[in-house]
């Protein structure tokens, strides 16, 4: 797209063999999450994954797409499903040209790239083989704070109880035994309700990366239909929402007749694109918020998204679980995660009888029938026509014909970014980083969610101060996602996550220390002071820096804060490449070394000695203000990455080509 070659270091190819048959109660999301977990444990980071085995034929194209889209979660460069009869059938249903399809099939078979269970040529040779039995997959949820912490649905009640007992950490909440059964009465819309630990206050059905499969969304709709027909309801204070990933999802939910039933349970379409799991949740009712805070209740959110970090959905919702869409609806009806679906009812029906989950769970046969009738080629054709011609508001928008974009200086949403403010026609060779202070001293597993601005804009944040100075009220702040076209907002929101644990502060907070003055400030305010003083900054971190979804602002934000280098024990591969792509040097401690073993406090100043010529994987020396000298590895994998870094990143490289 930018006229640049895509350079990859030749990866290892891991073969993932799928065998067996999945349980009827296991949804596509259960299969996807299980495969993701296995691949994460197999350490396929930076590798190429190819799927083979008889189990592949049981996966629809949507299943395969979902598994491939989850690559950032298990760290692979990409996941590849060879074309087979399932692929061809999908292409036929979506209106692919028949003649082209025949040529494609003939070619792939001729060059032995067509997959079949009866292949006579045998399987390819792989660097490593990971075996996964689909028969072992049972329904799971993930949480309450991290997507990798899976809990079998039949163990959910006991696991949440264990979380209440466990010390604060990746799963625990450390609630005193005598307070674990506390009940807080609350008045809402003229009725009294009782909140307790495990009560659900947010339930969001989202057809996100891991739920783009029609079968799981239809399963949620069919379950809602059966629930409504049985007389089940969702408590009105639960913030329910339905966020289809595209108009196509709404179309098949509507054409299958299940959308009205989702609406009756409160799951009405609120919009398209990133919503609840990126923090775009409508505020909880004030009475509910107050009750949660006053009773110190561990309230829960359940969503079918990809991210569930603590405090992301809402600052007063501390336990968040990722679940399949039908389970989100089921938990919303139950109103609590402290339920054993096998032995306890979801609620009572019209006649006062107990209704269990098994009574309303749709069968695979029901799902298959509805999918065949509603997810058809005509739907794809109709929606394509609507996208091109049907949106009158879009078609009536005025598009300026000027070569340059006419920036509106009054806009707080889109403004000319500052990436090119100091752009020179000729690249300046990498300069030594001299006497840099550490902006943040972070630990292991710092995710792009900790780095990149996401969710609502806190009223006390640096971004809020900026918007207030522009004349906006808190009601008008919107979210970081909505304002990603404003670099002033996004830079102020970088490292503004309330769960950021900076070792200089000692507790979760988006704060750091400005060492020349000794002040504790918002990260942006400290970075701004350093830049005014002409002092470069770096980041110290532990293992797996940059985990999670690939986000451009996770690199662009630190760059605009003045970060010159990140020094970590290891990196998530995609994020490491994005740092280079923006002009930040990713440096890695030598094996067995880290800030602790080297006796670093982070309060020193660091000088990075770049040689005249860089080379892939070279070793650099770093000298501290205390006189300590140690070596690190510069994680440039190839000449193209070095070229980008020399030019100050991809943006500057492309801009100079235009110049």
Question: How many angstroms separate the CA atoms of 647 and 649, rounded?
Answer: 6
Question: How many angstroms separate the CA atoms of 524 and 510, rounded?
Answer: 9
Give pLDDT tens digits for 307-349. 645 555 577 888 999 888 999 999 999 999 999 999 999 999 9
Contacts of 147 (CB under 8 A, 6+ apart): 73, 306, 307, 308, 322
Contacts of 284 (CB under 8 A, 6+ apart): 201, 202, 237, 239, 292, 314, 316, 317
- Contact status, residue 299 vs residue 317, Cβ threshold 8 Å: yes
Residue 395 exposed, middle or buried by CB count within 10 Å (0-12, 13-18, 19+)? exposed
Reading the block at residue 95, the tokens are: 């209106």
Indicate whether 244 pLDDT > 60: yes
- The domains of the chain are located at 13-136, 140-369, 433-658
Enclosing H/E stretch for 72? helix 71-74
Q: Are strands 200-206 and 239-243 parallel, antiparallel or unpaired?
A: parallel
Indicate whether 526 pLDDT > 90: yes
CATH superfamily of the 13-136 domain: Aconitase, Domain 2 (3.40.1060.10)
3 state SS for 564-602: EEEEECCECHHHHHHHHHHCCEEEEECCCCCCCCCCCCC
What local confidence, expressed as pLDDT, does residue 377 receive? 59
Give the lowest-confidence range in 228-232, 495-499, 516-520, 528-532: 495-499
Give the lowest-confidence range in 53-62, 98-107, 377-386, 498-507: 377-386
Residue-wise DSSP of 159-203: HHHHHHHSPBTTTB----GGGTT-EEEEEETTEEEEEETTBEEEE
Indicate whether 264 pLDDT > 60: yes
What local confidence, expressed as pLDDT, does residue 279 receive? 59
Indicate whether 647 pLDDT > 60: yes
Residue from 157, 102, 129 nearest 38 by CA? 129
CATH 3.20.20.140 for the 140-369 domain, yes or no: no
Give pLDDT tens digits for 93-148. 777 889 999 999 999 999 999 998 876 567 789 999 999 999 988 888 888 888 77
Give pLDDT tens digits for 443-465. 998 988 889 988 888 888 999 99
Reading the block at residue 456, the tokens are: 């609502």
Question: How many angstroms separate the CA atoms of 313 and 331, rounded?
Answer: 17
Q: Which CATH number fits domain 433-658: 3.40.630.30, 3.20.19.10, 3.40.1380.10, 3.90.550.10?
A: 3.20.19.10
Indicate whether 396 pLDDT > 70: yes
Residue from 268, 272, 324, 405 nearest 153 by CA? 324
Indicate whether 609 pLDDT > 90: no
| Angle ∠(72,78,83) on CA atoms, nearest 5 | 135
For residue 96, the tally of other CB atoms under 10 A from its CB is 15
| Angle ∠(332,338,341) on CA atoms, nearest 5 | 75
Residue 475 exposed, middle or buried by CB count within 10 Å (0-12, 13-18, 19+)? exposed
What local confidence, expressed as pLDDT, does residue 75 receive? 80
């Amino acid at each position: 797209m930018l006229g640049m070659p895509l350079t990859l270091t030749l990866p290892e190819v891991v073969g993932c063999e799928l065998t067996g048959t999945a349980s009827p109660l296991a949804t596509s999301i259960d299969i996807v999450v299980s495969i993701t977990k296995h691949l994460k444990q197999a350490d396929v980071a930076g590798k190429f994954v190819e799927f083979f085995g008889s189990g592949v034929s049981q996966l629809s194209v949507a299943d395969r797409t979902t598994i491939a889209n989850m690559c950032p979660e298990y760290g692979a460069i990409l996941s590849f499903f060879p074309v087979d009869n399932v692929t061809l059938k999908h292409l036929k249903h979506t209106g692919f040209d028949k003649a082209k399809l025949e040529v494609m099939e003939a070619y792939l078979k001729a060059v032995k790239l067509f997959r079949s269970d009866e292949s006579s040529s045998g399987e390819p040779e792989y660097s490593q083989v990971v075996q996964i039995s689909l028969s072992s997959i049972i329904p799971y949820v993930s949480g309450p704070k991290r997507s990798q912490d899976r809990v079998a649905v039949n163990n959910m009640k006991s696991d949440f109880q264990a979380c209440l007992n466990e010390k604060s950490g990746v799963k625990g909440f450390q609630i005193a035994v005598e307070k674990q059964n506390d009940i807080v009465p609350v008045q809402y819309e003229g009725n009294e309700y009782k909140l307790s630990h495990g009560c659900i206050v947010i339930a969001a059905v989202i057809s996100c990366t891991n739920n783009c499969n029609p079968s799981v969304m239809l399963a949620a709709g069919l379950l809602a239909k059966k629930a409504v027909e049985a007389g089940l309801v969702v408590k009105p204070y639960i913030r329910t929402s339905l966020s289809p990933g595209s108009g196509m999802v709404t179309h098949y939910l509507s054409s299958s007749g299940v959308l009205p039933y989702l609406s009756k349970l409160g799951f009405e379409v609120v919009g398209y694109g990133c919503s609840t799991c990126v923090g775009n949740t409508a505020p909880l009712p004030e009475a509910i918020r107050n009750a949660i805070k006053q009773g110190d209740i561990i309230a829960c959110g359940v969503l079918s998204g990809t991210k569930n970090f603590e405090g992301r959905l809402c600052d007063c919702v501390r336990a968040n679980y990722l679940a399949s869409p039908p389970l989100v609806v089921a938990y919303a009806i139950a109103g609590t995660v402290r339920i054993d679906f096998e032995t306890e009812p979801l609620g009572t029906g019209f006649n006062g009888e107990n209704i269990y989950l098994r009574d309303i769970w749709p069968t695979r046969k029901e799902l298959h029938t509805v999918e065949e009738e509603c997810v058809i080629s005509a739907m794809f054709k109709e929606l394509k026509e609507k996208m091109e011609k049907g949106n009158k508001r879009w078609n009536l928008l005025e598009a300026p014909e000027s070569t340059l974009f006419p920036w509106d200086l009054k806009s707080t949403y889109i403004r000319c970014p500052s990436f090119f403010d100091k752009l020179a026609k000729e690249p300046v060779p990498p300069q030594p980083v001299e006497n840099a202070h550490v902006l943040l001293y972070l630990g292991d597993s710092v995710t792009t969610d900790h780095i990149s601005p996401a969710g609502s804009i806190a009223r006390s944040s640096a971004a809020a101060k900026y918007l207030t100075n522009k004349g906006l009220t808190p009601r008008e702040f919107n979210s970081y996602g909505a304002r990603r076209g404003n670099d002033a907002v996004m830079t102020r929101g970088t490292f503004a996550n309330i769960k950021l644990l900076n070792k200089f502060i000692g507790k979760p907070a988006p704060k750091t220390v400005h060492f020349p003055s000794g002040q504790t400030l918002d990260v942006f305010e400290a970075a701004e002071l350093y830049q005014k003083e002409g002092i470069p900054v770096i980041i110290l971190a532990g293992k797996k820096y940059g985990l999670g979804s690939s986000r451009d602002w996770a690199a662009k934000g630190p760059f605009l804060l003045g970060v010159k280098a990140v020094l970590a024990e290891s990196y998530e591969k995609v994020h490491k490449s994005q740092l280079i792509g923006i002009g930040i040097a990713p440096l890695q401690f030598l094996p067995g070394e880290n800030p602790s073993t080297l006796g670093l406090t982070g309060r020193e100043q660091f000088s990075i000695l770049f040689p005249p010529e860089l080379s892939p994987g070279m070793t650099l020396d770093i000298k501290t203000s205390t006189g300590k000298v140690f070596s690190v590895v510069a994680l440039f994998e190839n000449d193209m990455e070095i070229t980008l870094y020399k030019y100050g990143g991809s943006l500057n490289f492309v801009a100079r080509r235009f110049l």
